[in-house]
Amino acid sequence: MESTLKRTWAEIDLDALERNYHALRRHIGPDVKFLGVVKADAYGHGAVQVGRLLQQLQADYLAVSSVDEAMELRQNGITLPILILGHTPQEQVELMIRNHITQAVTCRAKALEYSEEAVRCGGELTVHIKVDTGMSRLGYLCAGRHFETGVQGICDACKLPGLRPEGIFTHFAVADEPDADSAAYTKRQFALFRQVIRGVEERWGQSFALHHCANTGATACWPETYLDMVRPGLLLYGCGELSRQLGLEPVMTLKTTVSTVKTYDPDTDVSYGRLFTTQRTTRMGVVPYGYADGFLRCLSGRCSLMTAEGPAPQRGRICMDMCMIDLTDLPGVDVGAEVEIFGKRALVEDLARRADTIPYELTCAVSKRVPRIYYRQGQAVERELLLRF
């Protein structure tokens, strides 16, 4: 572990996470519950550490994508309610019941499977019904001519033995996009969600305790969609334009170090494919950060990494384990110097834009060989490396 420390590492600022959480709580007001999305290892930040802190801060719920992710939290002492957003095989129903894990129910077939298995093992599975209002991914199809069958299907699910319907939710497709067409689409999705809720609760004769739909885009921009609980992920981690608008801080800072510096003559080809040729005498640094660490190879020659003296252009193809950065105009940056890939000084959304992608993909891509160092009040309080020793 210590051996990898001076290679490439991710600093996770738990104080920034705490400040983001409090800022979001202030933003949503006192009457709205808070579900923190910690799927995909908390977008690369470490689900256990993030989950623990959210539990300490009295968040109301966590969400993950699979039963394995939920069990990772349970086995690390996290007792908050956990919602699995994705599908779980029928065979795992007993495990979910025993561990008080909530499952999304997305269609009639899954409802029947979960009910049957819950009855078989003599327990009750807490479920949240997922409504498809326009994302066209998971959920009961309820748009247009499917309204009636959708509402009836949800009512049927709610009455099944072995299921405890606690919540109902939907997911927005473009809540984070500011143009008028996207805004209209989000409004239509939300209006349909309300109609479905009304239809189901009237027919079923009961109300769900938790109605929720607000992801990051809606939490930032659409207060009318908060209902009982918001469900942001990205905002917690302080990534993206909307985080900037809300004054949230990046939680992860990904850093590497200059391992070698060499000076090349003009007209020297650099790295695989000879994509870059020096125009002048060039001081080139090698940093141990490549696509196996999560650097997207499509960024080759299209970005800079931040040094103490300013941005150093990345040159030539990004390799598996390293890449080259141009230090010619940064004479003070030498072997051993720290380089920020993204974080507080170099925002992840800027790097994402250069890769034609979203910040989510870059933080999720930080690979398991990159150690995470957790900070509290400027002190490293925990180090974690996800390799099999």
- Give me the active site residues, please: 39, 272
The 5-44 site mask, x for binding ligand PLP (CB under 6 A), equals --------------------------------x-x-----
Stretch that binds ligand PLP, among 228-236, 308-316, 339-347, 366-374 (CB under 6 A): 228-236
Count other Cβ atoms within 10 Å, centred on residue 3.
Answer: 8
Interacting positions 151-210 with ligand PLP (CB under 6 A): 171
Residue from 106, 126, 216, 253 touching ligand PLP (CB under 6 A): that is 216
Q: What are phi and psi of 226, to 5 degrees?
A: -65, -40
Smallest separation, CB 42 to ligand PLP (Å): 11
Contacts with ligand PLP by CB under 6 A: the residue count is 10
Report helix, strand or coil for 119: helix
CB atoms within 10 A of CB 168: 28
At its nearest, how many Å lie between ligand PLP and the CB of residue 293?
Answer: 23
What is the closest distance, in whole angstroms, from the C-beta atom of residue 171 to ligand PLP in the complex? 4
Please name the residue that has the structure tokens 């690390």. Answer: 76
**Residue with Cβ nearer ligand PLP (37 or 306):** 37
Site for ligand PLP in 42-81 (CB under 6 A): none
Taking the complex as a whole, the smallest distance from the CB of residue 365 to ligand PLP amounts, in Å, to 15
Contacts for 290 with CB less than 8 Å, ≥ 6 apart:
318, 319, 320, 321, 322, 323
Report which of 326, 335, 341, 340 is spatially closest to residue 284, judged by C-alpha positions. 326
Q: Which region, judged by CB under 6 A, interacts with ligand PLP, from 202-210, 225-233, 333-341, 346-354?
A: 225-233
Nearer to ligand PLP, 81 or 290 (CB): 81
CA distance 362 to 296: 8
Separation between Cα atoms, residue 44 and residue 49, nearest integer Å: 11
- Radius of gyration in angstroms for the set of CA atoms belonging to the chain, rounded to a whole number: 24
Eight-class DSSP state of 143: S
Instruction: Report the distance separating Cα 147 and Cα 195, nearest Å.
Output: 9
Rounded to whole angstroms, the Cα distance separating 249 from 220 reads 14
- Looking at 111-119, 199-207, 231-239, 291-299, which segment touches ligand PLP (CB under 6 A)? 231-239
- Cβ proximity to ligand PLP: between 224 and 265 the closer is 224
Tokens in use for 326? 């141009």
Helix, strand or coil, per DSSP, at residue 384: strand
CB 382, min distance to ligand PLP, A: 24
Measured from the CB atom, is 62 or 254 closer to ligand PLP? 62
Is 234 a binding residue for ligand PLP by CB under 6 A? The answer is yes
Q: Does 215 bind ligand PLP (CB under 6 A)?
A: yes
Give residue number: closest CB to ligand PLP: 233
Q: What is the DSSP string of 96-146?
A: HHHTTEEEEE-SHHHHHHHHHHHHHTT--EEEEEEEESSS-SSSEE-SGGG
- Tell me how far, at minimum, the Cβ of 113 lies from ligand PLP, in Å: 20
Tokens of 117: 């298995």
Q: To 5 degrees, how large is the angle CA 125–CA 126–CA 131?
A: 120
CB of 290 to ligand PLP, least distance (A): 27
Nearer Cβ to ligand PLP (60/94): 60
Please name which of 239, 236, 233, 219 lies closest in space to residue 353, comparing C-alpha atoms: 239
Q: Figure out which of the listed residues 231, 283, 317, 372 binds ligand PLP, where binding follows CB under 6 A.
A: 231
> Within positions 78 to 137, which residues make up the interface with ligand PLP, using CB under 6 A?
85
Interface contacts to ligand PLP, rule CB under 6 A: 37, 39, 85, 171, 215-216, 231-234
